[in-house]
Structure 1
Amino acid sequence: MKNIFTILFLCIIPFSYAQETLKQKFKIPYQIEYGENEYLYLQKKEASPRNQQAGFDKKLTKFTNRLNKYYPLNKTVNYSFEKNINGIKTRFDQSIIVDKQFIDDQIEKFSNEKTSIAKNIGPCQSCSWMTLFKKKLKTTKRKGFVKFEEDTIYVNTYLNDSDKESGRETILFYKLKNRQSLKLRFNAITITGVTIPIKYRFKGKGDIEEEFSTSFNLNFLAGYSFGKQLFFHRKKVGNKTNTTKWTVGAFFGGNAVELNEGNSRLEEGKVYNQGALSYGGALGYSFNKINVAAFVGWDRIVGANRDVWKYNDKVWIGFGVGYDLFKF
Protein backbone atom coordinates (compact mmCIF):
# COMPACT_ATOMS: atom_id res chain seq x y z
CA MET A 1 0.00 0.00 0.00
CA LYS A 2 2.89 2.34 0.79
CA ASN A 3 4.32 1.81 -2.68
CA ILE A 4 0.96 2.59 -4.29
CA PHE A 5 0.72 5.94 -2.49
CA THR A 6 4.29 6.71 -3.45
CA ILE A 7 3.54 6.10 -7.12
CA LEU A 8 0.41 8.27 -7.02
CA PHE A 9 2.30 11.10 -5.34
CA LEU A 10 5.23 11.05 -7.71
CA CYS A 11 3.00 10.80 -10.80
CA ILE A 12 1.80 14.37 -10.31
CA ILE A 13 5.31 15.78 -10.82
CA PRO A 14 4.90 17.99 -13.90
CA PHE A 15 6.43 17.23 -17.27
CA SER A 16 8.84 19.49 -19.10
CA TYR A 17 8.53 19.63 -22.87
CA ALA A 18 9.22 21.50 -26.11
CA GLN A 19 7.08 20.23 -28.96
CA GLU A 20 6.54 20.41 -32.69
CA THR A 21 3.63 18.87 -34.60
CA LEU A 22 4.29 17.90 -38.22
CA LYS A 23 2.07 16.74 -41.10
CA GLN A 24 -1.14 17.40 -39.16
CA LYS A 25 -4.10 16.26 -41.24
CA PHE A 26 -7.85 16.25 -40.64
CA LYS A 27 -10.16 13.73 -42.27
CA ILE A 28 -12.85 15.71 -44.07
CA PRO A 29 -16.16 13.82 -44.61
CA TYR A 30 -18.50 15.09 -47.32
CA GLN A 31 -21.44 14.81 -44.95
CA ILE A 32 -22.20 14.12 -41.29
CA GLU A 33 -25.45 12.50 -40.21
CA TYR A 34 -27.01 13.90 -37.01
CA GLY A 35 -30.25 11.98 -37.01
CA GLU A 36 -33.09 10.92 -39.23
CA ASN A 37 -32.89 12.97 -42.44
CA GLU A 38 -30.61 15.54 -40.79
CA TYR A 39 -27.21 16.12 -42.33
CA LEU A 40 -24.39 18.63 -42.19
CA TYR A 41 -22.85 19.02 -45.63
CA LEU A 42 -19.43 20.08 -46.77
CA GLN A 43 -20.06 23.06 -49.02
CA LYS A 44 -18.11 24.89 -51.68
CA LYS A 45 -17.36 28.59 -52.02
CA GLU A 46 -19.19 30.38 -54.82
CA ALA A 47 -15.96 31.75 -56.27
CA SER A 48 -15.56 31.94 -60.05
CA PRO A 49 -12.10 30.53 -60.74
CA ARG A 50 -10.75 30.12 -64.23
CA ASN A 51 -12.13 27.29 -66.35
CA GLN A 52 -15.11 26.93 -63.96
CA GLN A 53 -17.58 25.98 -66.68
CA ALA A 54 -15.11 23.60 -68.30
CA GLY A 55 -14.53 21.98 -64.93
CA PHE A 56 -18.25 21.53 -64.29
CA ASP A 57 -18.81 20.10 -67.78
CA LYS A 58 -16.22 17.42 -67.04
CA LYS A 59 -17.96 16.57 -63.77
CA LEU A 60 -21.34 16.43 -65.47
CA THR A 61 -20.01 14.10 -68.16
CA LYS A 62 -18.43 11.86 -65.55
CA PHE A 63 -21.64 11.79 -63.50
CA THR A 64 -23.76 10.96 -66.58
CA ASN A 65 -21.44 8.13 -67.64
CA ARG A 66 -21.57 6.55 -64.20
CA LEU A 67 -25.30 7.00 -63.98
CA ASN A 68 -25.77 5.17 -67.30
CA LYS A 69 -23.31 2.46 -66.24
CA TYR A 70 -24.90 1.60 -62.90
CA TYR A 71 -28.50 2.38 -63.86
CA PRO A 72 -29.19 1.31 -67.47
CA LEU A 73 -32.67 1.80 -68.92
CA ASN A 74 -35.35 -0.68 -67.80
CA LYS A 75 -33.30 -1.82 -64.81
CA THR A 76 -35.28 -2.49 -61.63
CA VAL A 77 -33.72 -0.88 -58.58
CA ASN A 78 -34.69 -2.12 -55.14
CA TYR A 79 -34.16 0.17 -52.18
CA SER A 80 -35.28 0.55 -48.60
CA PHE A 81 -35.84 3.41 -46.18
CA GLU A 82 -36.86 3.92 -42.57
CA LYS A 83 -39.75 6.03 -41.34
CA ASN A 84 -40.61 7.01 -37.79
CA ILE A 85 -44.18 5.93 -37.02
CA ASN A 86 -45.43 6.66 -33.51
CA GLY A 87 -41.88 6.76 -32.23
CA ILE A 88 -40.95 3.41 -33.80
CA LYS A 89 -38.58 3.15 -36.75
CA THR A 90 -40.24 1.09 -39.48
CA ARG A 91 -38.43 -0.17 -42.55
CA PHE A 92 -40.07 -0.09 -46.00
CA ASP A 93 -38.90 -1.81 -49.19
CA GLN A 94 -39.70 -0.33 -52.58
CA SER A 95 -38.50 -0.54 -56.18
CA ILE A 96 -38.37 1.67 -59.27
CA ILE A 97 -37.79 1.02 -62.97
CA VAL A 98 -35.16 3.19 -64.64
CA ASP A 99 -36.46 5.13 -67.64
CA LYS A 100 -35.35 8.21 -69.62
CA GLN A 101 -37.30 10.58 -67.37
CA PHE A 102 -35.57 9.10 -64.34
CA ILE A 103 -32.11 9.70 -65.89
CA ASP A 104 -33.01 13.26 -66.94
CA ASP A 105 -34.29 14.08 -63.43
CA GLN A 106 -31.03 12.97 -61.79
CA ILE A 107 -28.90 14.95 -64.25
CA GLU A 108 -31.03 18.03 -63.59
CA LYS A 109 -30.64 17.59 -59.82
CA PHE A 110 -26.90 17.24 -60.22
CA SER A 111 -26.76 20.44 -62.28
CA ASN A 112 -28.82 22.39 -59.76
CA GLU A 113 -26.60 21.23 -56.89
CA LYS A 114 -23.24 21.91 -58.55
CA THR A 115 -22.26 24.51 -55.92
CA SER A 116 -22.40 21.95 -53.09
CA ILE A 117 -19.99 19.03 -53.00
CA ALA A 118 -21.93 17.39 -50.19
CA LYS A 119 -25.15 17.20 -52.15
CA ASN A 120 -23.27 15.77 -55.11
CA ILE A 121 -22.04 12.92 -52.91
CA GLY A 122 -24.42 12.55 -49.98
CA PRO A 123 -27.72 10.65 -50.15
CA CYS A 124 -30.72 12.20 -51.89
CA GLN A 125 -33.28 12.82 -49.15
CA SER A 126 -36.24 12.87 -51.55
CA CYS A 127 -35.43 9.51 -53.17
CA SER A 128 -33.79 6.83 -51.06
CA TRP A 129 -32.63 4.79 -54.05
CA MET A 130 -29.96 7.43 -54.55
CA THR A 131 -28.09 6.19 -51.51
CA LEU A 132 -27.32 2.96 -53.36
CA PHE A 133 -26.00 4.84 -56.35
CA LYS A 134 -23.91 7.28 -54.34
CA LYS A 135 -22.12 4.46 -52.54
CA LYS A 136 -20.73 3.38 -55.89
CA LEU A 137 -19.28 6.83 -56.51
CA LYS A 138 -16.32 8.28 -54.70
CA THR A 139 -17.52 8.82 -51.13
CA THR A 140 -14.20 8.53 -49.32
CA LYS A 141 -13.08 11.30 -46.99
CA ARG A 142 -10.62 13.93 -48.11
CA LYS A 143 -7.72 15.17 -46.01
CA GLY A 144 -6.71 18.73 -45.29
CA PHE A 145 -6.49 21.64 -42.88
CA VAL A 146 -9.23 23.48 -40.98
CA LYS A 147 -9.84 26.86 -39.35
CA PHE A 148 -12.81 27.72 -37.09
CA GLU A 149 -14.22 31.25 -37.40
CA GLU A 150 -17.64 32.32 -36.06
CA ASP A 151 -20.19 29.83 -37.50
CA THR A 152 -17.90 28.50 -40.24
CA ILE A 153 -15.25 25.80 -40.29
CA TYR A 154 -13.07 26.52 -43.32
CA VAL A 155 -11.44 23.56 -45.01
CA ASN A 156 -8.43 23.61 -47.31
CA THR A 157 -7.97 20.08 -48.65
CA TYR A 158 -5.20 18.42 -50.55
CA LEU A 159 -5.87 18.65 -54.28
CA ASN A 160 -7.42 15.62 -55.92
CA ASP A 161 -7.51 14.77 -59.64
CA SER A 162 -10.75 16.68 -60.14
CA ASP A 163 -9.28 19.86 -58.63
CA LYS A 164 -6.18 19.65 -60.79
CA GLU A 165 -8.09 18.97 -64.00
CA SER A 166 -10.38 21.97 -63.52
CA GLY A 167 -7.54 24.28 -62.52
CA ARG A 168 -8.99 25.06 -59.09
CA GLU A 169 -7.80 25.09 -55.54
CA THR A 170 -11.22 25.03 -53.94
CA ILE A 171 -11.88 26.37 -50.44
CA LEU A 172 -14.57 24.31 -48.73
CA PHE A 173 -16.47 24.88 -45.50
CA TYR A 174 -19.02 23.59 -43.00
CA LYS A 175 -21.72 25.98 -41.78
CA LEU A 176 -22.83 25.39 -38.17
CA LYS A 177 -26.06 26.46 -36.50
CA ASN A 178 -26.09 27.88 -33.00
CA ARG A 179 -25.17 25.15 -30.45
CA GLN A 180 -24.35 22.74 -33.26
CA SER A 181 -21.11 20.78 -33.10
CA LEU A 182 -18.87 18.96 -35.54
CA LYS A 183 -16.29 16.34 -34.68
CA LEU A 184 -13.37 15.69 -37.05
CA ARG A 185 -10.69 13.03 -36.80
CA PHE A 186 -7.04 13.95 -37.27
CA ASN A 187 -3.55 12.50 -37.19
CA ALA A 188 -0.11 14.05 -36.92
CA ILE A 189 3.56 13.35 -36.33
CA THR A 190 4.68 14.58 -32.92
CA ILE A 191 8.24 15.53 -31.98
CA THR A 192 8.91 16.58 -28.40
CA GLY A 193 11.48 16.83 -25.66
CA VAL A 194 10.22 15.25 -22.45
CA THR A 195 11.35 14.47 -18.92
CA ILE A 196 10.07 11.37 -17.16
CA PRO A 197 9.25 12.31 -13.56
CA ILE A 198 9.60 8.83 -12.02
CA LYS A 199 10.96 5.45 -12.97
CA TYR A 200 10.04 2.26 -11.17
CA ARG A 201 12.63 -0.50 -11.39
CA PHE A 202 11.48 -4.04 -10.71
CA LYS A 203 12.83 -6.41 -8.11
CA GLY A 204 15.11 -9.01 -9.61
CA LYS A 205 17.09 -12.04 -8.67
CA GLY A 206 19.63 -11.98 -5.89
CA ASP A 207 20.28 -8.59 -4.32
CA ILE A 208 18.32 -6.53 -6.91
CA GLU A 209 15.58 -4.70 -5.01
CA GLU A 210 12.74 -2.61 -6.43
CA GLU A 211 13.58 1.08 -6.72
CA PHE A 212 11.91 4.40 -7.46
CA SER A 213 14.11 6.87 -9.32
CA THR A 214 13.50 10.61 -9.70
CA SER A 215 16.87 11.64 -11.13
CA PHE A 216 17.21 14.39 -13.75
CA ASN A 217 16.62 13.17 -17.30
CA LEU A 218 15.98 14.64 -20.71
CA ASN A 219 14.69 12.67 -23.68
CA PHE A 220 13.78 13.18 -27.32
CA LEU A 221 10.47 11.57 -28.32
CA ALA A 222 9.12 11.06 -31.84
CA GLY A 223 5.66 9.59 -32.26
CA TYR A 224 2.34 9.41 -34.03
CA SER A 225 -0.74 11.19 -32.69
CA PHE A 226 -4.35 10.53 -33.62
CA GLY A 227 -7.67 11.64 -32.19
CA LYS A 228 -10.73 13.86 -32.58
CA GLN A 229 -11.39 17.56 -32.34
CA LEU A 230 -14.85 18.82 -31.45
CA PHE A 231 -15.93 22.20 -32.86
CA PHE A 232 -18.89 23.72 -30.99
CA HIS A 233 -20.53 26.93 -32.26
CA ARG A 234 -21.94 29.28 -29.62
CA LYS A 235 -23.44 32.39 -31.15
CA LYS A 236 -22.32 35.71 -29.62
CA VAL A 237 -20.52 34.10 -26.65
CA GLY A 238 -17.57 32.48 -28.41
CA ASN A 239 -16.89 29.10 -29.97
CA LYS A 240 -15.41 26.17 -28.09
CA THR A 241 -13.13 23.34 -29.19
CA ASN A 242 -12.23 20.13 -27.34
CA THR A 243 -9.40 17.86 -28.42
CA THR A 244 -8.84 14.26 -27.39
CA LYS A 245 -5.92 12.28 -28.75
CA TRP A 246 -3.56 9.38 -28.25
CA THR A 247 0.18 9.61 -28.84
CA VAL A 248 2.41 6.58 -29.27
CA GLY A 249 6.13 6.85 -29.90
CA ALA A 250 9.72 6.01 -29.06
CA PHE A 251 12.19 8.05 -27.03
CA PHE A 252 15.95 8.31 -26.65
CA GLY A 253 17.87 10.44 -24.18
CA GLY A 254 20.07 10.61 -21.15
CA ASN A 255 19.94 10.92 -17.38
CA ALA A 256 22.19 11.17 -14.36
CA VAL A 257 22.55 8.16 -12.05
CA GLU A 258 24.08 8.21 -8.58
CA LEU A 259 25.89 4.96 -7.89
CA ASN A 260 26.11 3.93 -4.25
CA GLU A 261 26.32 0.80 -2.19
CA GLY A 262 22.53 0.38 -2.31
CA ASN A 263 22.04 0.25 -6.09
CA SER A 264 25.44 -1.04 -7.15
CA ARG A 265 28.24 -3.30 -6.11
CA LEU A 266 30.49 -0.49 -4.94
CA GLU A 267 32.34 -0.66 -1.66
CA GLU A 268 30.66 0.89 1.37
CA GLY A 269 30.93 4.67 1.46
CA LYS A 270 31.78 5.16 -2.20
CA VAL A 271 29.51 7.28 -4.38
CA TYR A 272 29.84 8.08 -8.10
CA ASN A 273 27.70 10.17 -10.45
CA GLN A 274 27.41 8.55 -13.86
CA GLY A 275 25.69 9.38 -17.10
CA ALA A 276 23.29 6.87 -18.62
CA LEU A 277 21.57 6.46 -21.95
CA SER A 278 17.80 5.89 -21.91
CA TYR A 279 15.61 4.42 -24.64
CA GLY A 280 12.13 2.92 -24.88
CA GLY A 281 8.51 3.57 -25.82
CA ALA A 282 5.71 5.85 -24.65
CA LEU A 283 1.92 5.96 -24.73
CA GLY A 284 0.04 9.14 -23.84
CA TYR A 285 -3.57 10.31 -23.72
CA SER A 286 -4.63 13.96 -23.82
CA PHE A 287 -7.83 15.87 -23.25
CA ASN A 288 -7.17 19.46 -24.26
CA LYS A 289 -4.14 20.37 -22.13
CA ILE A 290 -4.43 17.61 -19.52
CA ASN A 291 -2.17 14.63 -20.21
CA VAL A 292 -1.38 11.24 -18.78
CA ALA A 293 1.47 9.12 -20.04
CA ALA A 294 3.16 5.79 -19.44
CA PHE A 295 6.70 4.86 -20.43
CA VAL A 296 8.67 1.64 -20.63
CA GLY A 297 12.41 1.73 -21.15
CA TRP A 298 15.94 0.73 -20.32
CA ASP A 299 18.95 2.63 -18.96
CA ARG A 300 22.56 1.87 -19.78
CA ILE A 301 25.43 3.39 -17.83
CA VAL A 302 28.14 5.08 -19.92
CA GLY A 303 31.63 4.85 -18.44
CA ALA A 304 33.88 2.67 -16.40
CA ASN A 305 31.33 1.69 -13.72
CA ARG A 306 28.62 0.34 -16.01
CA ASP A 307 29.14 -3.24 -14.88
CA VAL A 308 28.62 -2.53 -11.17
CA TRP A 309 25.18 -0.92 -11.46
CA LYS A 310 22.49 -3.47 -10.62
CA TYR A 311 19.87 -1.97 -12.97
CA ASN A 312 22.02 -1.68 -16.08
CA ASP A 313 19.87 -2.69 -19.09
CA LYS A 314 17.02 -3.69 -16.76
CA VAL A 315 13.50 -2.74 -17.81
CA TRP A 316 11.69 0.04 -15.93
CA ILE A 317 8.31 1.73 -16.22
CA GLY A 318 7.53 5.41 -15.83
CA PHE A 319 4.33 7.37 -15.20
CA GLY A 320 3.24 10.96 -15.25
CA VAL A 321 0.33 13.39 -15.25
CA GLY A 322 1.03 16.71 -16.89
CA TYR A 323 -0.36 19.90 -18.33
CA ASP A 324 0.12 20.52 -22.04
CA LEU A 325 2.70 17.76 -22.57
CA PHE A 326 1.60 16.56 -26.02
CA LYS A 327 0.08 19.89 -26.97
CA PHE A 328 -1.89 20.20 -30.22
Structure 2
Amino acid sequence: MKKQLIFLLIIVSTFSSCGILQIAGKREFDNGFYIQKSNTEKSKVYVDVIDDSFHIHDTYLGTSKIMVDTNTYKTFPKEVKSNSFSKTSFKKYTFDIDFITIPLKFRLKEMDIPAQLNTNLNGALYIGYRADKYLIGYQSNHLGKAIRKLNHVGFSMGAFSGFGNTLMSPTNTNDRLQKEYDGIVWSKGVSSFLIANNFTVGLALGVDHLLDKNKSIWIYQNKPWLGLSVGLHLN
Protein backbone atom coordinates (compact mmCIF):
# COMPACT_ATOMS: atom_id res chain seq x y z
CA MET A 1 0.00 0.00 0.00
CA LYS A 2 2.73 2.48 0.96
CA LYS A 3 4.80 1.61 -2.12
CA GLN A 4 1.75 2.07 -4.38
CA LEU A 5 0.96 5.42 -2.78
CA ILE A 6 4.53 6.72 -3.17
CA PHE A 7 4.65 5.56 -6.80
CA LEU A 8 1.32 7.23 -7.63
CA LEU A 9 2.36 10.49 -5.99
CA ILE A 10 5.57 10.56 -8.04
CA ILE A 11 3.69 9.86 -11.28
CA VAL A 12 0.97 12.46 -10.60
CA SER A 13 3.48 15.13 -9.56
CA THR A 14 5.64 14.49 -12.63
CA PHE A 15 2.71 14.55 -15.06
CA SER A 16 1.21 17.67 -13.47
CA SER A 17 4.45 19.64 -13.57
CA CYS A 18 5.01 18.67 -17.22
CA GLY A 19 1.52 19.62 -18.31
CA ILE A 20 0.76 16.11 -19.57
CA LEU A 21 -2.61 15.98 -17.80
CA GLN A 22 -4.55 18.07 -20.26
CA ILE A 23 -7.90 18.50 -18.49
CA ALA A 24 -6.41 21.05 -16.13
CA GLY A 25 -3.02 21.50 -17.69
CA LYS A 26 -1.75 24.56 -19.44
CA ARG A 27 -3.57 25.22 -22.71
CA GLU A 28 -1.93 27.04 -25.53
CA PHE A 29 -2.92 30.60 -26.34
CA ASP A 30 -4.43 29.69 -29.70
CA ASN A 31 -6.83 31.07 -32.29
CA GLY A 32 -10.27 32.09 -31.08
CA PHE A 33 -12.45 34.71 -29.41
CA TYR A 34 -11.31 36.23 -26.11
CA ILE A 35 -12.26 39.02 -23.73
CA GLN A 36 -9.35 41.47 -23.79
CA LYS A 37 -8.61 43.84 -20.91
CA SER A 38 -5.94 46.53 -21.10
CA ASN A 39 -5.82 49.17 -18.36
CA THR A 40 -9.54 49.92 -17.85
CA GLU A 41 -10.74 49.00 -21.34
CA LYS A 42 -12.48 45.69 -22.00
CA SER A 43 -13.54 44.32 -25.40
CA LYS A 44 -14.19 41.12 -27.31
CA VAL A 45 -11.40 40.31 -29.77
CA TYR A 46 -10.26 37.53 -32.06
CA VAL A 47 -6.73 36.17 -31.61
CA ASP A 48 -4.87 34.89 -34.67
CA VAL A 49 -1.59 33.14 -33.83
CA ILE A 50 0.86 33.27 -36.76
CA ASP A 51 4.30 31.77 -36.15
CA ASP A 52 5.60 33.51 -32.99
CA SER A 53 3.31 36.56 -33.20
CA PHE A 54 -0.14 37.19 -31.71
CA HIS A 55 -2.43 39.22 -33.98
CA ILE A 56 -5.34 40.80 -32.11
CA HIS A 57 -8.39 41.69 -34.24
CA ASP A 58 -11.29 43.83 -33.05
CA THR A 59 -14.81 42.46 -33.47
CA TYR A 60 -18.20 44.00 -34.14
CA LEU A 61 -21.80 42.80 -34.18
CA GLY A 62 -22.99 41.95 -37.67
CA THR A 63 -26.47 41.14 -38.86
CA SER A 64 -26.73 37.82 -37.06
CA LYS A 65 -23.30 37.06 -35.60
CA ILE A 66 -20.04 38.56 -34.36
CA MET A 67 -17.76 39.67 -37.19
CA VAL A 68 -13.96 40.03 -37.16
CA ASP A 69 -12.21 43.15 -38.43
CA THR A 70 -9.64 41.66 -40.83
CA ASN A 71 -8.30 45.00 -42.07
CA THR A 72 -6.50 46.16 -38.92
CA TYR A 73 -4.98 44.38 -35.95
CA LYS A 74 -2.53 44.83 -33.10
CA THR A 75 0.51 42.58 -32.94
CA PHE A 76 2.34 41.18 -29.92
CA PRO A 77 5.64 39.94 -31.41
CA LYS A 78 7.93 37.58 -29.54
CA GLU A 79 10.64 40.23 -29.28
CA VAL A 80 10.66 44.05 -29.51
CA LYS A 81 13.42 46.64 -29.30
CA SER A 82 11.83 48.60 -26.46
CA ASN A 83 9.20 47.76 -23.88
CA SER A 84 6.37 50.03 -24.97
CA PHE A 85 3.54 47.54 -24.37
CA SER A 86 1.29 47.64 -21.33
CA LYS A 87 0.25 44.34 -19.74
CA THR A 88 -2.84 42.92 -21.40
CA SER A 89 -5.04 40.02 -20.30
CA PHE A 90 -7.21 37.72 -22.39
CA LYS A 91 -10.01 35.57 -20.93
CA LYS A 92 -11.75 32.60 -22.47
CA TYR A 93 -14.68 30.50 -21.21
CA THR A 94 -15.35 26.98 -22.51
CA PHE A 95 -17.22 23.78 -21.69
CA ASP A 96 -15.19 20.67 -20.88
CA ILE A 97 -15.92 17.04 -21.74
CA ASP A 98 -13.10 14.97 -20.33
CA PHE A 99 -12.00 11.57 -19.08
CA ILE A 100 -10.69 11.66 -15.51
CA THR A 101 -9.36 9.25 -12.94
CA ILE A 102 -9.07 9.59 -9.17
CA PRO A 103 -5.85 7.75 -8.18
CA LEU A 104 -6.13 8.65 -4.49
CA LYS A 105 -9.28 8.54 -2.34
CA PHE A 106 -9.37 9.62 1.30
CA ARG A 107 -12.18 7.93 3.26
CA LEU A 108 -13.26 9.01 6.72
CA LYS A 109 -13.29 6.71 9.74
CA GLU A 110 -16.15 4.22 9.70
CA MET A 111 -17.06 2.16 12.79
CA ASP A 112 -13.77 0.74 14.13
CA ILE A 113 -11.91 1.22 10.83
CA PRO A 114 -9.55 4.25 10.84
CA ALA A 115 -9.42 6.76 8.01
CA GLN A 116 -8.22 5.19 4.77
CA LEU A 117 -6.21 6.38 1.75
CA ASN A 118 -7.17 4.07 -1.12
CA THR A 119 -5.52 3.57 -4.52
CA ASN A 120 -7.97 1.83 -6.86
CA LEU A 121 -8.38 1.64 -10.61
CA ASN A 122 -11.19 3.87 -11.88
CA GLY A 123 -12.29 6.14 -14.71
CA ALA A 124 -15.10 8.62 -15.23
CA LEU A 125 -16.61 11.05 -17.70
CA TYR A 126 -16.27 14.67 -16.57
CA ILE A 127 -18.46 17.53 -17.82
CA GLY A 128 -17.66 21.01 -16.58
CA TYR A 129 -17.16 24.70 -17.24
CA ARG A 130 -13.70 26.22 -17.58
CA ALA A 131 -12.23 29.71 -17.42
CA ASP A 132 -8.73 30.55 -18.69
CA LYS A 133 -6.83 33.83 -18.34
CA TYR A 134 -3.67 34.71 -20.28
CA LEU A 135 -1.53 37.68 -19.27
CA ILE A 136 0.86 39.10 -21.88
CA GLY A 137 3.72 41.42 -20.94
CA TYR A 138 7.30 42.17 -21.92
CA GLN A 139 10.51 41.92 -19.90
CA SER A 140 13.72 43.70 -20.90
CA ASN A 141 16.96 41.73 -21.09
CA HIS A 142 20.63 42.75 -20.91
CA LEU A 143 20.79 43.25 -24.69
CA GLY A 144 18.32 46.10 -24.59
CA LYS A 145 15.51 44.01 -26.05
CA ALA A 146 12.13 43.17 -24.55
CA ILE A 147 11.00 39.52 -24.62
CA ARG A 148 7.32 38.62 -24.51
CA LYS A 149 6.13 36.78 -21.39
CA LEU A 150 2.91 34.76 -21.33
CA ASN A 151 1.41 33.64 -18.02
CA HIS A 152 -1.64 31.41 -17.76
CA VAL A 153 -4.10 30.68 -14.95
CA GLY A 154 -7.25 28.63 -15.22
CA PHE A 155 -10.07 27.04 -13.26
CA SER A 156 -12.47 24.24 -14.13
CA MET A 157 -15.40 22.82 -12.17
CA GLY A 158 -17.95 20.17 -13.05
CA ALA A 159 -19.53 16.79 -12.33
CA PHE A 160 -18.30 13.28 -13.06
CA SER A 161 -19.70 9.76 -13.27
CA GLY A 162 -17.88 6.50 -13.91
CA PHE A 163 -16.80 3.08 -12.69
CA GLY A 164 -13.96 1.56 -10.70
CA ASN A 165 -13.03 -1.28 -8.39
CA THR A 166 -12.62 -1.66 -4.65
CA LEU A 167 -11.23 -4.38 -2.41
CA MET A 168 -14.02 -6.21 -0.58
CA SER A 169 -12.85 -7.92 2.61
CA PRO A 170 -13.96 -8.88 6.13
CA THR A 171 -12.45 -5.60 7.35
CA ASN A 172 -14.73 -3.28 5.36
CA THR A 173 -17.85 -5.43 5.80
CA ASN A 174 -17.76 -5.68 9.60
CA ASP A 175 -16.62 -9.34 9.32
CA ARG A 176 -19.79 -10.33 7.44
CA LEU A 177 -17.77 -11.29 4.35
CA GLN A 178 -15.38 -14.22 4.68
CA LYS A 179 -13.47 -13.91 1.38
CA GLU A 180 -11.70 -11.08 -0.42
CA TYR A 181 -12.50 -9.98 -3.97
CA ASP A 182 -12.48 -6.85 -6.16
CA GLY A 183 -15.95 -5.33 -6.34
CA ILE A 184 -17.19 -3.00 -9.07
CA VAL A 185 -18.37 0.43 -7.94
CA TRP A 186 -20.22 3.27 -9.62
CA SER A 187 -18.64 6.60 -8.65
CA LYS A 188 -20.16 10.05 -9.00
CA GLY A 189 -19.51 13.53 -7.63
CA VAL A 190 -18.00 16.91 -8.39
CA SER A 191 -14.44 17.90 -9.22
CA SER A 192 -12.46 21.10 -9.69
CA PHE A 193 -9.06 21.91 -11.20
CA LEU A 194 -6.72 24.83 -10.60
CA ILE A 195 -3.99 25.74 -13.11
CA ALA A 196 -1.05 28.14 -12.83
CA ASN A 197 1.21 27.85 -15.89
CA ASN A 198 2.63 24.30 -15.73
CA PHE A 199 1.32 23.53 -12.25
CA THR A 200 -1.98 21.64 -12.00
CA VAL A 201 -3.98 20.31 -9.05
CA GLY A 202 -7.40 18.67 -9.07
CA LEU A 203 -9.71 17.73 -6.19
CA ALA A 204 -12.83 15.58 -6.25
CA LEU A 205 -15.67 14.99 -3.79
CA GLY A 206 -17.76 11.92 -4.47
CA VAL A 207 -19.50 8.75 -3.34
CA ASP A 208 -19.19 5.10 -4.40
CA HIS A 209 -22.02 2.62 -4.94
CA LEU A 210 -21.10 -1.08 -4.87
CA LEU A 211 -22.95 -2.85 -7.69
CA ASP A 212 -23.27 -6.38 -6.31
CA LYS A 213 -25.25 -8.19 -3.61
CA ASN A 214 -22.83 -7.15 -0.84
CA LYS A 215 -23.63 -3.45 -1.13
CA SER A 216 -25.73 -3.56 2.04
CA ILE A 217 -22.81 -4.74 4.19
CA TRP A 218 -20.05 -2.57 2.67
CA ILE A 219 -19.27 0.13 5.24
CA TYR A 220 -18.37 2.72 2.55
CA GLN A 221 -21.58 2.38 0.54
CA ASN A 222 -22.81 5.92 -0.35
CA LYS A 223 -20.27 7.44 2.06
CA PRO A 224 -18.42 10.59 0.86
CA TRP A 225 -14.72 10.60 0.04
CA LEU A 226 -12.19 13.27 -0.99
CA GLY A 227 -9.81 12.50 -3.83
CA LEU A 228 -7.02 13.73 -6.08
CA SER A 229 -8.28 13.93 -9.67
CA VAL A 230 -6.35 13.97 -12.93
CA GLY A 231 -7.45 13.48 -16.49
CA LEU A 232 -7.21 13.76 -20.26
CA HIS A 233 -8.86 16.58 -22.21
CA LEU A 234 -11.18 15.14 -24.89
CA ASN A 235 -12.79 18.14 -26.64
TM-score, length basis structure 2: 0.70
1:86-108 residue CA offsets vs partner (Å, 9 max, x unmatched): xxxxxxxxxxxxxxxxxxxxxxx
Higher Cα Rg, which structure: 1
1:319 CA displacement: 2.5
Structure 1 residues without counterparts, runs of 5 or longer: 1-5, 34-121, 123-138
The structure, 1 or 2, with the larger RCO (C-alpha pairs under 8 Å, 6+ apart) is 2
1:319/1:19 Cα in 2 relative to 1: closer, same or farther (>3 Å)?
A: closer
- Tell me the equivalent position of 2:97: 191
For 1:298 and 1:25, locate their aligned partners in 2 and report how far apart those are by CA, in whole Å. 37
Matched-pair contact (CA < 8 Å) for 2:138–2:146 = no
Structure 2 residues without counterparts, runs of 5 or longer: none
Matched-pair contact (CA < 8 Å) for 1:223–1:248 = yes
Q: RMSD in angstroms over aligned alpha carbons?
A: 3.9
Instruction: State the identity as a percent.
Output: 21
1:219 CA displacement: 1.4
For 1:262 and 1:280, locate their aligned partners in 2 and report how far apart those are by CA, in whole Å. 25
Matched-pair contact (CA < 8 Å) for 2:36–2:89 = no
1:288 CA displacement: 2.4
1:1-29 residue CA offsets vs partner (Å, 9 max, x unmatched): xxxxx9998655426856599xx741034
For residue 292 of structure 1, the aligned residue among 189, 192, 201 is 201
TM-score, length basis structure 1: 0.52
1:284/1:327 Cα in 2 relative to 1: closer, same or farther (>3 Å)?
A: farther
For 2:148 and 2:234, locate their aligned partners in 1 and report how far apart those are by CA, in whole Å. 20
Do structure 1's residue 142 and structure 2's residue 44 form an aligned pair?
Answer: yes
Amino acid in structure 2 at the alignment position of 1:141: S
1:25/1:304 Cα in 2 relative to 1: closer, same or farther (>3 Å)?
A: farther
Amino acid in structure 2 at the alignment position of 1:155: I
For residue 152 of structure 2, the aligned residue among 222, 239, 243 is 243
For 1:285 and 1:215, locate their aligned partners in 2 and report how far apart those are by CA, in whole Å. 23
For residue 126 of structure 2, the aligned residue among 199, 205, 221 is 221
Matched residue pairs, number?
Answer: 208
For 1:7 and 1:170, locate their aligned partners in 2 and report how far apart those are by CA, in whole Å. 54
Amino acid in structure 2 at the alignment position of 1:197: P
Matched-pair contact (CA < 8 Å) for 1:18–1:192 = no
User: What are the residue-to-residue correspondences of 1:168-187 with 2, within 5 Å?
Assistant: 169-171=68-70, 172-176=72-76, 177=80, 178-179=82-83, 180=85, 181-187=87-93
Structure with the higher fraction of residues in helix conformation: 1
